[in-house]
């Protein structure tokens, strides 16, 4: 794919107090692509997105969106982008239509165009019959749909989505994913999203940047990322050991051939191994410790495994409570990170 880049991120850095939230990252997003920033909470995904959408000023570095600098030409950038924040951007006491009208009017869209566009957007997400109700009465799913169409009022070339499926039930998540894909396919909208949900990244994104501790540790398509760990050398095995003990777990972790060992359930283990004799070594180790193997499976790698392989820890290890943006200024983030 030799299409042009719509976003060029250059050495973007954000310091929050003394903590480096985003650490000198650079990447390109191609026009018409769905680009995912995948990583645990606190990895710096949201901060990156806030800087790209001109809501936060980079400490160092910059990015060019559609030819405009996000720092120097922020007003021009704002005309090109839409942002779906993890927070619901809408006023509960206004009706759905009044909300869209208010935000739309800030973009100086001609009145007749705006009226037509609002109606189209309501049709698109099947909210037409509710357009005159106050959004405070809406369900979470309806609010999420409102939140998305609000970002589309100016027909953005680039749509930023911060954790679009966070807190949604599986069905709503599917709907949102389909909606994003449809938007991307039909309007050619470039989508940049952050997520800590592997499914989102896997099913939706053309390319994925894996973010950890403010740095991009890997960037490629989902299948290429997976190939990283299922080369000739590495594989993932799932073991079922009925008499699994902490002692046995420790022994396996100590093995040279085991890159990472995670316990899935009381007697289930997932082991990332490398080397030709890995299987033999693992089985030997278990039997020597008196462990019984009731089943053994060679697994297809998931993005989760990729993350584990690259960073040495799991996504959900660090997935503690999401820290609200306001509080990040006070440097609580550093403490809430669990290694």
Options 38, 90, 121, 237; binder of other proteins; rule CB under 8 A: 90
Judged by CB under 8 A, does residue 75 bind other proteins?
A: yes
Cβ distance to other proteins smaller for residue 87 or 288? 87
Closest separation between CB of residue 235 and other proteins, Å? 44
Sign of CA dihedral 89, 101, 157, 223: positive
Cβ distance to other proteins smaller for residue 309 or 328? 328
Distance of CA 25 to the CA centre of its chain: 16
Judged by CB under 8 A, does residue 72 bind other proteins?
A: no
Q: Is 319 exposed, middle or buried (0-12, 13-18, 19+ CB in 10 A)?
A: middle
Cβ distance to other proteins smaller for residue 88 or 228? 88
Options 23, 24, 69, 88; binder of other proteins; rule CB under 8 A: 88
Judged by CB under 8 A, does residue 164 bind other proteins?
A: no
Rounded Cα gap, residues 119 and 117, in angstroms? 5
Question: Is 51:62 a contact under the CB 8 Å cutoff?
Answer: no
Token reading at 330 = 């006070």
Span near other proteins by CB under 8 A; candidates 86-94, 117-125, 212-220, 249-257: 86-94
Judged by CB under 8 A, does residue 56 bind other proteins?
A: yes
Judged by CB under 8 A, does residue 87 bind other proteins?
A: yes
- Residues making up the chain, counted from first to last: 339
Q: Is 264 exposed, middle or buried (0-12, 13-18, 19+ CB in 10 A)?
A: exposed
Token reading at 119 = 């109606």
Q: How many helices (H) and strands (E) does the chain have?
A: 14, 14
- Please list, in sequence order, all residues whose beta carbon lies within 8 angstroms of the beta carbon of residue 216, skipping any fewer than 6 positions away: 25, 27, 209, 210
Cβ distance to other proteins smaller for residue 191 or 216? 191
Judged by CB under 8 A, does residue 159 bind other proteins?
A: no
Cβ distance to other proteins smaller for residue 4 or 108? 108
Give contact residues for other proteins (rule: CB under 8 A): 53-57, 75-76, 78-79, 81-83, 85, 87-91, 93-94, 98, 102-103, 105-108, 134, 150, 326, 329
């Amino acid at each position: 794919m030799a299409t042009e880049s719509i976003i060029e991120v250059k050495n973007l850095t954000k310091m929050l107090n003394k903590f480096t939230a985003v650490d000198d990252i650079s990447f390109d997003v191609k026009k018409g692509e769905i680009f995912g920033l995948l990583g645990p909470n606190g990895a710096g995904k949201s901060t990156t997105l806030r800087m790209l959408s001109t809501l936060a000023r980079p400490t160092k570095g910059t990015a060019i969106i559609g030819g405009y600098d996000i720092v120097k030409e922020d007003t021009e950038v704002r005309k090109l982008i839409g942002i779906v924040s993890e927070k619901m951007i809408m006023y509960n006491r206004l009706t759905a239509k009044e909300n869209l009208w208010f935000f739309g009017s800030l973009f100086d869209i001609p009145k007749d165009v705006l009226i037509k566009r609002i109606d189209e957007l309501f049709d698109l997400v099947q909210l037409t019959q509710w357009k005159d109700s106050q959004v405070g009465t809406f369900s979470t799913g309806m609010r999420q749909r409102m939140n998305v169409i609000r970002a589309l009022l100016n027909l953005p070339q680039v749509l930023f989505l911060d954790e679009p499926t966070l807190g949604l039930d599986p069905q709503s998540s599917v709907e949102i994913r389909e909606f994003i894909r449809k938007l991307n396919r039909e309007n050619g909208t470039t989508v940049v999203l952050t997520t800590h949900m592997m499914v989102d990244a896997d099913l939706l994104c053309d390319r994925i940047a894996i973010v950890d501790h403010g740095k991009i540790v890997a960037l490629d398509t989902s299948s290429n990322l997976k190939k990283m760990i299922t080369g000739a050398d590495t594989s993932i095995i799932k073991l079922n050991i009925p008499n699994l003990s902490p002692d046995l777990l420790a022994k396996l972790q100590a093995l040279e051939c085991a890159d990472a060992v995670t316990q899935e359930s009381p007697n289930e283990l997932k082991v990332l191994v490398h080397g030709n004799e890995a299987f033999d070594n693992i089985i030997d180790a278990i039997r020597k410790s008196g462990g019984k193997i009731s089943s053994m499976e060679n697994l297809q790698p998931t993005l989760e495994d990729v993350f584990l392989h690259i960073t040495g820890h799991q996504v959900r290890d660090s997935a503690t409570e999401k820290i609200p943006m306001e509080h990040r200024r006070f440097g609580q983030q550093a403490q809430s990170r669990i290694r």
